[in-house]
Amino acid sequence: MTLDQFAQQVRRQPFRPFQLVMVDGSRFTVDHPEFVSIDRRGRAVTFHAADNTRHELDSRLIQDVVALDADASATVPGPTGGGNPSGGE
């Protein structure tokens, strides 16, 4: 993932939900631009999931940023609004 890919998805107008895909296969669905941020160095992504848990993600471990269709964000498995399909993080 590049920081440009991440920034493009966060700033997209109108905003569309997207997933952060980690190198271990886990996925985090970002359903609002105010629930995700990246630090000034570009090393850490802070993500607030649908269940209000906060995750600190190493940006070097984000493999891909995938835009979702409006319908897909409602059907993504995982207890945190987008964790990996097995339910673990």
For residue 83, the model assigns a pLDDT of 47
For residue 63, the model assigns a pLDDT of 93
Three-class SS of 40-89: CCCCEEEEECCCCCEEEEEHHHEEEEEECCCCHHHCCCCCCCCCCCCCCC
Question: Digits of tens for pLDDT over the chain (89 positions)?
Answer: 677 888 899 999 999 999 999 999 999 999 999 999 999 998 999 999 999 999 999 999 999 999 988 654 444 434 344 444 334 44
Q: How far apart are CA 73 and CA 49, in angstroms?
A: 12
Q: How far apart are CA 89 and CA 24, in angstroms?
A: 10
Where do the domains of the chain lie, and which CATH numbers do they carry? 3-72 (2.30.30.100)
For residue 1, the model assigns a pLDDT of 64
Distant-in-sequence, close-in-space partners of 53: CB < 8 Å, separation ≥ 6 = 80
Cα-Cα-Cα-Cα torsion 76, 79, 83, 84, nearest 10 degrees, comes to: -80
For residue 73, the model assigns a pLDDT of 43
